[in-house]
A and B are shown apart, each in its own frame.
Chain A
Amino acid sequence: MDEKLLIERARSGDDDAFGELVRMHQDRVYRTAIRFVGPDDAHDITQEVFIKAHGEMKRFHAKSALSTWLYRMTINMSLNYLRGRRRELDRRERYGPGVSAPPPSPDSGIIDQEFTEAVWQVIDSLPEKQRTAVVLHRFEGLSAAETAEVMGLSLGAVESLLHRSKLALLKSFQESGLGEPQNDI
């Protein structure tokens, strides 16, 4: 069914229409959430996004695409969640016992996963705007213009963010030796 019609029906309180919209967009919201908060918390973020969307549907006037609206909510919620988690970690480091890293797994089948996580640790360390631009453009496949619309920035600003993030990531990859055969964990 046409998305516009579904939006109209969902706005008038039709939960089946809302459910159809959820099915159409749940994967992109979930994927984006994973890229920000990791797999453990992405499900909760995805639920929060759609719960909020359900509550705010009457106020959504389709001036922008529904996907743009959902991306914005996902990014805002993920970043807020990360800020809270960072504060909690800071608090624990200051006042509580130190957080120890889990012991390395003896399973060699996990090498790819560890390499992926090592790369994402570098991506996670980017400033929020650069990271958002990289996630949307590089991984979600949005054009620079679409990324700009989601982020509420000009095209030039997003292009600048993408250049700076690429340079920062390559520098970090070079310093950390990621990609070298002996360092592929």
Chain B
Amino acid sequence: MKDFQRHKQAHPDTYREKIPAYLAGTLDERSRRTLEGHLPECEACRTDLQRLRTLWENLPDRAPGSAPLDFWPQLKVLLEENKIVEFPAPQPRWRVAISFAAGLVAGLGIWTAGTGGPALSSAATDELLAHEILFENLDPIPPDSMAGQYLSLLPLEEENPGGGS
């Protein structure tokens, strides 16, 4: 009885709003029954329901056509003209990981060599050696160059380990 009173008092828009959910099957049981009770007495809602149902069942397609008949011949010419370049496959993750680890070991090696750290592994020693050889074979920096002038400003501790200036 209470439901009936509420049903009678509800604004017609309240029923209308429920029509999409009714058609989509997402309306709860109670609301569905209420709407079905309302439909026989409301022509506007019946018309709206029918209109939406018809539209949904007959949604027009944007793509009734098919690809052009000469699609493949055109594409073949395009493929031959452009000779699509294949990009190299991305490196496997283990390769990236190994490269990272090697860089880390080399960095650690340089750091420990500078601070008198523990002995390095043979691989890291090789890496460090390669760097030392590279640096030893570099041409001396001319003192009148900008870099040379900058270096002249630095304290020369390594050249004077005794502490004398």
Contact = CB atoms under 8 A, between A and B. Distances in A.
Given A54-B84, A115-B60, A119-B60, A179 B67 contact: no
A178 B51 CA distance: 9
A27 B23 contact: no
Given A30-B66, A51-B79, A19 B86 contact: no
Interface stretch (B68-76, B96-104, B111-119, B147-155): B68-76
Interface stretch (A2-10, A65-73, A145-153, A166-174): A166-174
A130 B161 CA distance: 73
A116 B55 contact: no
10 contacts: A19-B72, A22-B72, A27-B66, A43-B68, A59-B89, A167-B21, A167-B26, A169-B56, A170-B52, A173-B55
Contacts of A60: none
B20 A51 contact: no
Contacts of B84: 51, 54-55
Chain B interface residue bracket vs A: 20 to 34
Contacts of B86: 55, 58
Nearest to A58: B86
Contacts of B48: 174
Contacts of A169: 56
A47 B75 contact: yes
A132 interface: no
A46 B67 contact: yes
Nearest to A175: B20
Interface in A38-68: 38-39, 42-43, 46-47, 50-51, 54-55, 58-59
A23 B72 contact: yes
Interface of B: 16, 19-21, 23-26, 48, 51-52, 54-56, 59-63, 65-68, 71-72, 74-76, 78-79, 82, 84, 86, 89
A171 B52 CA distance: 9
B75 A170 contact: no
Chain A interface residue bracket vs B: 35 or more
A163 B52 CA distance: 16
Contact of B59 (A26, A27, A119, A180): A119
A161 to B, nearest CB: 12
Given A50-B75, A51-B79, A139-B59, 16 more contacts: A15-B79, A29-B67, A31-B66, A34-B63, A34-B65, A35-B61, A39-B62, A47-B74, A47-B75, A47-B78, A166-B23, A167-B24, A167-B26, A170-B23, A174-B48, A180-B51
B26 A163 contact: yes
Interface of A: 15, 19, 22-23, 26-27, 29-32, 34-35, 38-39, 42-43, 46-47, 50-51, 54-55, 58-59, 112, 115-117, 119-120, 138-139, 163, 166-167, 169-171, 173-174, 178-180
Contacts of A47: 74-75, 78
B76 A15 contact: yes
A54 B72 CA distance: 12
Nearest to B64: A31
B12 to A, nearest CB: 14
Given A51-B75, A139-B61, A170 B66 contact: no
